[in-house]
Structures are given as C-alpha cells and as structure tokens.
A and B are shown apart, each in its own frame.
Chain A
Amino acid sequence: MDRLFDVVAVFSVVLIVWVLSSVRRAHIRVEYSVSWLLAGAVLLILARWRTLDDWMAAALGISDSFIALAMIAGAAFLVVLYRLSLRISGLKDSSITLAQQVAILEFRLDALNQNKKL
C-alpha cells in the first residue's frame, strides 16, 4: 500500500514540474496552470501526509485510506476538467462570433471595393 502512495507522490511531482515547465515555455497560460498546480500540490500533500488520509477515510466512512485519497484526487481533477470545459465553451462561442464577423466584414469590404472599381 505504501508503494501506491509513493507512486501518487511521484506522479504529483511530475505533474507539478511538467506544468511549471510548460508555463516557463509559454505553452500554458499562468491562469490555467494554477488549477493544475493546486491539484498536484493537494495530491502530493495527501500522498505524504498519511495521518490526514486516515482522518479523511474515517470521515468518509472508508476503511482504506488510499481509496479516500483516490476519491479526493478524482474529485479535484473533475473540478479542474469542468472548469476547462466551461472555458472551452466560452472560447468556442467567441471564436464562432469572431469568424462570422470576419466573414461579414470581408463580404462588405469586397462589395465596397467592387463599387470603387466601377
């Protein structure tokens, strides 16, 4: 069981390093990195602080503290993914409006240009 907690801790560190590296190379914007860094940090704390896991497992009525950790991690990542889905939906709406407006402006510009030639 200890090995599982170690694997989660290593995964958390890899995630944090990966996100920080992406931020440094400007592959991800800082505002979107915060959710992942927080999720990674929470996971790392839970993987290393067994007393907290035991307390959470007792509070949730789960006998196995690793399952409690997995549940908390799963919930954290679901929240992050949902926030990103919201953001993607907003960006898609903006992108569609922008594309429509660009097309309409080009259409009207072409019409004006044709008018000038004549």
Chain B
Amino acid sequence: MTPAANQAVNPPAKRLLVLIPAFNEEGAVAGVVAEVRSAVPGTPILVVDDCSRDATRSQAQGAGAQVLALPHHLGLGGCVQAGYRLAYELGYDYVIRVDGDGQHDPSDIPTVLAALEKGDCEMVIGSRFVDDNGTHTNVLRAAGILFFRAVLRPILGRPVRDPTSGYVGVNRRALELFSATFPLEYPEIEALVVLQRKRFRFVEVPCRFRPRRTGRSTITAVKSLYYMIHVLLGVFVNVLKFEGRKR
C-alpha cells in the first residue's frame, strides 16, 4: 500500500482528513492538493470526484491525493456526503472540506482545525465576513447571503455571517450526523439547520477566499431564483423536523 493509501485507510493519531469535492476541476484540483499538502503536511487528502468528464481524477491522483470516484454524478451534497461517510467509516475525528476550484485558501486549514480542537463546537465555518477579509463574491451572491442571514437568524437563535461558505470543518459527532443526513443540493445553508436540529454548535473563523481558478460556479444568475426557492424550502422542511428546543 502506498503511504497515501495507508494514511487514508489507517488514519494516524491526529485523525484529520482534508476533503476536496470536485467536479470537472482538472485545471485547479492539482494545485489545491499541493497547497493543502503544503499547509498541513502529512495530512491525508481525499478528493471526491463527482464523476467528472475531464481529467480531475488523474490530476488529483498525480498530485498525491486519494480519490473517491463516484460512479455517477450526485451533485455537491451527495459528493460531500460520500466523503463524510468514508471518513466516518475510517474513524477520522476531524474533516475539513476545501473546494476543488481553488476558492478556499488552504493556509487557513490550521485555523479551522484549531477551532475544532477547542472542542466547544461541532462545526467550524471558514467565513469571508468575520474579519471582512477579501470578500470575493458577486452582487447576486452577496444579496443572497444577506437574505439567508436574515432567514437563519431566528432559526439558529444566533447570527451567521457566511451561511453559504463551503469552507467547513466538522468533528466526529457532526461527521456521524452528516454521514446519515446531509442535504443533497446546495447543502451549506440546510446543513446549518440540520446541525441546529441536533442542538449542535458552530463557530465562524476568518478565512481567505479567492476567485475560482478555472471553470464556472454551479450557481449562475439564471439558477439563482431556483436556488433561493430550493434552499428556502429545504430550510423550512428541516425546521419542521426539529427534535427539540434549540439552545
């Protein structure tokens, strides 16, 4: 077994896995893997290839990551959940998700990990807005973030500054939850409500975001309305499933 495969199957004592969901990211994924290796040397890296039509899988493997290859396209939520399921089965304690398009700066992984290791939350969100650092987002997305901040505030019982951030770290409790229940499309916002249903806590830490290196966002202007309706419905469906009073 190669050292990387051995690390993935027999996780070391610290038990952190960096999870990179990727779909048609051949131009960026190798660079992201290299940056992650540089930021957290020796940490296993798992790229979940959502049945890309390009060379994402070979690029990731060439850069030294392990690849979980999905047999057909599941969308972001299904892709991330597959990674969470594998990480949970393999016994990892922490999983930090970094997107495969290069928007998340892997040098912030230690910040996210440090917040997880404090142990006072189940999920850490890498936020663009905590320190108002490098907010690389378009007007439409910014408006969406403002809208969902307002929607989520009463549901979560506390403010969340960057509800659409995919730069997320989870501990084993959240990993167990998300392995069983995870929103399948546009998962970030609904995942917060899923977390709240179980009375789990989250914190936000400042992280740097960059413009994506290649490709295009899955949320285009045309899809924005569908996104809003879909996520709103998902949020309220999850609210209806609440299992107790929130803290």
Contact = CB atoms under 8 A, between A and B. Distances in A.
Interface in A29-63: none
A115 B72 contact: no
A100 B68 CA distance: 9
Interface in A103-118: 103-104, 106-108, 110-111, 114-115, 118
Given A100-B81, A111-B5, A111-B9, A106 B74 contact: no
Interface residues of B, number: 22
Interface residues of A, number: 15
Interface in B1-37: 1-2, 5-6, 8-9
Interface string A75-118: 00000000000000000000110011011101110110011001
Contacts, number: 49
Contacts of A118: 1
B89 interface: yes
A91 to B, nearest CB: 13
B89 A104 contact: yes
Interface of A: 95-96, 99-100, 102-104, 106-108, 110-111, 114-115, 118
Given A99-B71, A103-B82, A104-B82, 14 more contacts: A95-B72, A96-B78, A96-B184, A99-B70, A99-B74, A99-B82, A100-B74, A100-B82, A103-B48, A104-B68, A104-B85, A107-B8, A111-B5, A114-B2
